[in-house]
Amino acid sequence: MDKITVKEILSLKGKRKITMLTAYDYPIASLVDKAGLDMILVGDSLANVVLGLDSTTKVGMTEMLHHAKAVTRAVKNALVIGDMPYESYQINPEESVKNARRFISEGNCDAVKLEWFDKCPEVTKEIIKAGIPVMGHIGLTPQTADKLGGFKVQGKDADAARRLIEQAKELERLGCFAIVLECVPDRIAGLITQKLRIPTIGIGAGADCDGQVLVINDMLGLFERYTPKFVKKYLNLSPIILKAIEEFKEDVLRAKFPAPEHTFTIKEDELKKI
Protein backbone atom coordinates (compact mmCIF):
# COMPACT_ATOMS: atom_id res chain seq x y z
CA MET A 1 0.00 0.00 0.00
CA ASP A 2 1.26 3.48 -0.90
CA LYS A 3 1.15 6.54 1.30
CA ILE A 4 -2.38 7.94 1.40
CA THR A 5 -2.71 11.45 -0.03
CA VAL A 6 -4.87 14.45 0.83
CA LYS A 7 -6.64 13.92 -2.52
CA GLU A 8 -7.50 10.35 -1.50
CA ILE A 9 -8.86 11.54 1.86
CA LEU A 10 -11.11 13.99 0.01
CA SER A 11 -12.29 11.27 -2.35
CA LEU A 12 -13.39 9.03 0.54
CA LYS A 13 -16.28 11.34 1.43
CA GLY A 14 -19.54 9.57 0.72
CA LYS A 15 -17.71 6.33 -0.19
CA ARG A 16 -16.66 4.96 3.20
CA LYS A 17 -15.94 6.23 6.71
CA ILE A 18 -12.52 7.74 7.37
CA THR A 19 -10.42 6.51 10.30
CA MET A 20 -8.03 8.58 12.40
CA LEU A 21 -6.28 8.13 15.76
CA THR A 22 -3.68 10.16 17.57
CA ALA A 23 -0.13 8.86 18.13
CA TYR A 24 2.83 10.45 19.86
CA ASP A 25 5.65 7.93 19.56
CA TYR A 26 7.27 5.34 17.30
CA PRO A 27 5.86 2.06 18.68
CA ILE A 28 2.22 3.19 18.82
CA ALA A 29 2.42 5.00 15.46
CA SER A 30 3.81 1.77 13.90
CA LEU A 31 0.78 -0.17 15.19
CA VAL A 32 -1.76 2.43 14.09
CA ASP A 33 -0.19 2.46 10.64
CA LYS A 34 -0.01 -1.35 10.49
CA ALA A 35 -3.74 -1.49 11.34
CA GLY A 36 -4.39 0.58 8.20
CA LEU A 37 -5.82 3.79 9.69
CA ASP A 38 -6.21 6.56 7.09
CA MET A 39 -4.79 9.38 9.20
CA ILE A 40 -2.64 9.81 12.30
CA LEU A 41 -2.80 13.02 14.29
CA VAL A 42 0.18 14.03 16.39
CA GLY A 43 -2.23 15.82 18.69
CA ASP A 44 -1.44 18.49 21.22
CA SER A 45 -3.35 16.17 23.59
CA LEU A 46 0.27 15.04 24.00
CA ALA A 47 0.26 17.60 26.84
CA ASN A 48 -2.41 15.76 28.85
CA VAL A 49 -2.04 12.10 27.99
CA VAL A 50 1.74 11.79 27.65
CA LEU A 51 3.44 14.71 29.37
CA GLY A 52 1.23 14.92 32.47
CA LEU A 53 0.35 18.59 31.93
CA ASP A 54 -3.08 19.98 32.76
CA SER A 55 -3.65 21.90 29.53
CA THR A 56 -2.85 21.58 25.83
CA THR A 57 -1.75 25.23 25.96
CA LYS A 58 1.37 24.09 27.80
CA VAL A 59 3.07 22.36 24.87
CA GLY A 60 4.99 24.29 22.22
CA MET A 61 6.71 23.68 18.91
CA THR A 62 9.72 21.96 20.53
CA GLU A 63 7.64 19.20 22.14
CA MET A 64 5.31 18.82 19.15
CA LEU A 65 8.15 18.49 16.64
CA HIS A 66 10.02 16.05 18.87
CA HIS A 67 6.99 13.73 18.90
CA ALA A 68 6.05 14.35 15.26
CA LYS A 69 9.51 13.12 14.23
CA ALA A 70 9.09 9.91 16.23
CA VAL A 71 5.67 9.28 14.65
CA THR A 72 6.70 9.99 11.06
CA ARG A 73 9.75 7.70 11.43
CA ALA A 74 7.27 4.87 11.96
CA VAL A 75 4.53 5.64 9.44
CA LYS A 76 4.57 4.24 5.91
CA ASN A 77 0.97 4.63 4.75
CA ALA A 78 -1.20 6.93 6.87
CA LEU A 79 -1.44 10.66 6.30
CA VAL A 80 0.28 12.29 9.29
CA ILE A 81 -1.09 15.57 10.61
CA GLY A 82 0.85 17.79 13.00
CA ASP A 83 -1.34 19.63 15.49
CA MET A 84 -0.19 23.24 15.70
CA PRO A 85 0.29 24.13 19.37
CA TYR A 86 -1.12 27.15 21.16
CA GLU A 87 0.59 30.42 20.19
CA SER A 88 2.35 28.85 17.18
CA TYR A 89 -0.37 30.26 14.88
CA GLN A 90 -2.13 32.95 16.92
CA ILE A 91 0.62 35.60 16.88
CA ASN A 92 0.57 36.56 13.18
CA PRO A 93 0.17 34.86 9.78
CA GLU A 94 3.94 35.00 8.95
CA GLU A 95 4.89 33.23 12.18
CA SER A 96 2.09 30.73 11.58
CA VAL A 97 3.36 29.84 8.10
CA LYS A 98 6.90 29.49 9.48
CA ASN A 99 5.72 27.09 12.20
CA ALA A 100 3.47 25.13 9.83
CA ARG A 101 6.48 24.69 7.48
CA ARG A 102 8.50 23.28 10.39
CA PHE A 103 5.91 20.49 10.83
CA ILE A 104 6.46 19.55 7.17
CA SER A 105 10.23 20.05 6.82
CA GLU A 106 11.43 19.01 10.31
CA GLY A 107 8.55 16.86 11.58
CA ASN A 108 8.02 15.19 8.14
CA CYS A 109 4.25 15.59 8.54
CA ASP A 110 1.93 15.70 5.54
CA ALA A 111 -0.45 18.37 6.86
CA VAL A 112 -1.21 20.54 9.89
CA LYS A 113 -4.31 21.04 12.03
CA LEU A 114 -5.45 24.38 13.47
CA GLU A 115 -8.14 25.06 16.05
CA TRP A 116 -10.67 27.75 15.23
CA PHE A 117 -10.07 31.20 16.78
CA ASP A 118 -11.08 34.71 15.70
CA LYS A 119 -8.17 35.16 13.22
CA CYS A 120 -8.37 31.56 11.99
CA PRO A 121 -9.48 32.41 8.42
CA GLU A 122 -6.53 34.72 7.61
CA VAL A 123 -3.99 32.32 9.14
CA THR A 124 -5.52 29.28 7.38
CA LYS A 125 -5.48 31.17 4.08
CA GLU A 126 -1.76 31.99 4.38
CA ILE A 127 -0.75 28.44 5.37
CA ILE A 128 -2.70 26.96 2.46
CA LYS A 129 -1.19 29.60 0.14
CA ALA A 130 2.23 28.32 1.26
CA GLY A 131 1.24 24.89 -0.10
CA ILE A 132 0.61 23.21 3.24
CA PRO A 133 -2.59 21.13 3.57
CA VAL A 134 -4.71 22.27 6.52
CA MET A 135 -7.26 20.38 8.60
CA GLY A 136 -9.65 22.68 10.49
CA HIS A 137 -10.99 22.06 14.00
CA ILE A 138 -14.22 23.61 15.28
CA GLY A 139 -16.68 23.06 18.12
CA LEU A 140 -14.86 22.51 21.38
CA THR A 141 -11.37 23.89 20.76
CA PRO A 142 -9.39 22.95 23.89
CA GLN A 143 -6.68 25.60 23.43
CA THR A 144 -9.31 28.34 23.91
CA ALA A 145 -11.85 26.40 25.98
CA ASP A 146 -11.93 29.15 28.61
CA LYS A 147 -13.45 31.50 25.98
CA LEU A 148 -16.12 28.87 25.22
CA GLY A 149 -17.30 28.51 28.81
CA GLY A 150 -15.06 25.51 29.55
CA PHE A 151 -14.97 21.96 28.24
CA LYS A 152 -18.59 21.86 27.10
CA VAL A 153 -20.57 20.66 24.11
CA GLN A 154 -20.70 23.50 21.53
CA GLY A 155 -23.50 24.51 19.15
CA LYS A 156 -26.35 23.60 21.46
CA ASP A 157 -28.61 26.53 20.56
CA ALA A 158 -29.62 27.74 17.11
CA ASP A 159 -27.27 30.77 17.10
CA ALA A 160 -24.25 28.79 18.25
CA ALA A 161 -25.03 26.01 15.76
CA ARG A 162 -25.36 28.54 12.94
CA ARG A 163 -21.94 29.96 13.88
CA LEU A 164 -20.40 26.48 13.65
CA ILE A 165 -21.97 25.94 10.22
CA GLU A 166 -20.55 29.29 9.05
CA GLN A 167 -17.08 28.44 10.41
CA ALA A 168 -17.13 25.07 8.64
CA LYS A 169 -18.22 26.64 5.35
CA GLU A 170 -15.52 29.32 5.67
CA LEU A 171 -12.81 26.70 6.29
CA GLU A 172 -13.99 24.74 3.25
CA ARG A 173 -14.01 27.92 1.15
CA LEU A 174 -10.42 28.66 2.25
CA GLY A 175 -9.29 25.23 1.06
CA CYS A 176 -9.09 23.03 4.18
CA PHE A 177 -9.10 19.35 3.20
CA ALA A 178 -11.05 18.16 6.29
CA ILE A 179 -12.52 19.51 9.52
CA VAL A 180 -12.52 18.01 13.01
CA LEU A 181 -15.84 18.55 14.81
CA GLU A 182 -15.29 18.19 18.56
CA CYS A 183 -18.16 17.94 21.06
CA VAL A 184 -20.98 19.01 18.78
CA PRO A 185 -24.59 17.66 18.95
CA ASP A 186 -24.96 14.80 16.46
CA ARG A 187 -27.71 16.50 14.41
CA ILE A 188 -25.58 19.64 13.96
CA ALA A 189 -22.51 17.58 13.02
CA GLY A 190 -24.73 15.69 10.54
CA LEU A 191 -25.97 18.97 9.07
CA ILE A 192 -22.42 20.33 8.69
CA THR A 193 -21.33 17.04 7.11
CA GLN A 194 -24.19 17.29 4.59
CA LYS A 195 -23.40 20.90 3.71
CA LEU A 196 -19.68 20.34 3.02
CA ARG A 197 -17.82 18.75 0.12
CA ILE A 198 -14.81 18.09 2.39
CA PRO A 199 -14.88 15.34 5.05
CA THR A 200 -15.80 15.99 8.67
CA ILE A 201 -13.96 13.98 11.32
CA GLY A 202 -15.92 13.69 14.55
CA ILE A 203 -14.86 13.36 18.16
CA GLY A 204 -17.91 13.53 20.37
CA ALA A 205 -19.92 14.60 17.32
CA GLY A 206 -22.07 11.54 16.63
CA ALA A 207 -22.19 8.91 13.93
CA ASP A 208 -23.04 11.07 10.92
CA CYS A 209 -19.56 12.56 10.46
CA ASP A 210 -17.52 11.31 7.50
CA GLY A 211 -14.90 9.90 9.86
CA GLN A 212 -14.00 9.47 13.51
CA VAL A 213 -10.96 10.25 15.64
CA LEU A 214 -10.09 9.32 19.21
CA VAL A 215 -7.11 10.02 21.44
CA ILE A 216 -5.29 6.69 21.44
CA ASN A 217 -4.44 6.73 25.16
CA ASP A 218 -8.17 7.15 25.91
CA MET A 219 -9.32 4.24 23.73
CA LEU A 220 -6.56 1.97 25.04
CA GLY A 221 -7.30 2.79 28.68
CA LEU A 222 -3.90 4.36 29.17
CA PHE A 223 -5.07 7.65 30.61
CA GLU A 224 -6.71 7.47 33.99
CA ARG A 225 -7.18 11.11 35.02
CA TYR A 226 -10.57 11.48 33.26
CA THR A 227 -12.53 9.85 30.43
CA PRO A 228 -14.83 12.01 28.32
CA LYS A 229 -18.34 10.63 27.56
CA PHE A 230 -17.51 10.23 23.85
CA VAL A 231 -14.64 7.80 24.46
CA LYS A 232 -15.11 4.11 23.84
CA LYS A 233 -12.43 2.18 25.75
CA TYR A 234 -11.44 -0.72 23.50
CA LEU A 235 -8.92 -1.90 26.07
CA ASN A 236 -8.08 -1.13 29.66
CA LEU A 237 -4.31 -1.29 29.51
CA SER A 238 -3.38 0.55 32.72
CA PRO A 239 -4.20 -2.32 35.13
CA ILE A 240 -2.57 -4.84 32.77
CA ILE A 241 0.66 -2.82 32.67
CA LEU A 242 0.51 -2.24 36.43
CA LYS A 243 0.22 -6.01 37.02
CA ALA A 244 3.26 -6.72 34.82
CA ILE A 245 5.33 -4.09 36.63
CA GLU A 246 4.33 -5.51 40.02
CA GLU A 247 5.25 -9.03 38.86
CA PHE A 248 8.68 -7.78 37.76
CA LYS A 249 9.18 -6.14 41.14
CA GLU A 250 8.24 -9.36 42.97
CA ASP A 251 10.47 -11.48 40.71
CA VAL A 252 13.47 -9.25 41.39
CA LEU A 253 12.82 -9.10 45.13
CA ARG A 254 12.54 -12.93 45.27
CA ALA A 255 15.52 -13.44 42.93
CA LYS A 256 13.25 -15.20 40.42
CA PHE A 257 14.39 -12.91 37.64
CA PRO A 258 16.63 -13.21 35.69
CA ALA A 259 16.17 -16.96 35.11
CA PRO A 260 18.78 -19.07 33.24
CA GLU A 261 17.08 -18.33 29.87
CA HIS A 262 17.72 -14.59 30.37
CA THR A 263 21.36 -15.06 31.41
CA PHE A 264 24.69 -15.10 29.53
CA THR A 265 27.27 -17.71 30.61
CA ILE A 266 30.99 -18.34 30.30
CA LYS A 267 32.57 -21.78 29.92
CA GLU A 268 33.94 -23.27 33.17
CA ASP A 269 37.53 -23.65 31.84
CA GLU A 270 37.62 -19.98 30.79
CA LEU A 271 36.36 -18.96 34.20
CA LYS A 272 39.13 -20.95 35.90
CA LYS A 273 41.80 -18.96 34.03
CA ILE A 274 40.77 -15.72 35.69
Residues labelled catalytic: 182
DSSP code string of the chain: -PPP-HHHHHHTTTTS-EEEEE--SHHHHHHHHHTT-SEEEE-TTHHHHTT--S-GGG--HHHHHHHHHHHHHH-SSSEEEEEPPTTSSSS-HHHHHHHHHHHHHTT--SEEE----TTHHHHHHHHHHTT--EEEEEES-GGGGGGGTSS-----SHHHHHHHHHHHHHHHHHT-SEEEEES--HHHHHHHHHH-SSPEEEESS-TTSSEEEE-HHHHTT---S---TT---S--HHHHHHHHHHHHHHHHHTT-SS-GGG-----HHHHHT-
Binding-site ranges for ligand KIV (CB under 6 A): 22, 41, 43-45, 83, 180, 182, 203, 213, 215
Q: Of the two residues 147 and 243, which places its CB atom closer to ligand KIV in the complex?
A: 147
Least Å distance, CB 91 to ligand KIV, is 20
Residue number of the CB closest to ligand KIV reads 43
Q: Measured from the CB atom, is 22 or 99 closer to ligand KIV? A: 22
Nearer to ligand KIV, 212 or 271 (CB): 212
Least distance in angstroms from the C-beta of 211 to ligand KIV:
11
Residue 240 Cβ vs ligand KIV, minimum distance, rounded to whole Å: 23
When the beta carbons of 51 and 252 are compared against ligand KIV, the nearer one is 51
| Minimum separation from the CB atom of position 49 to ligand KIV (A) | 8
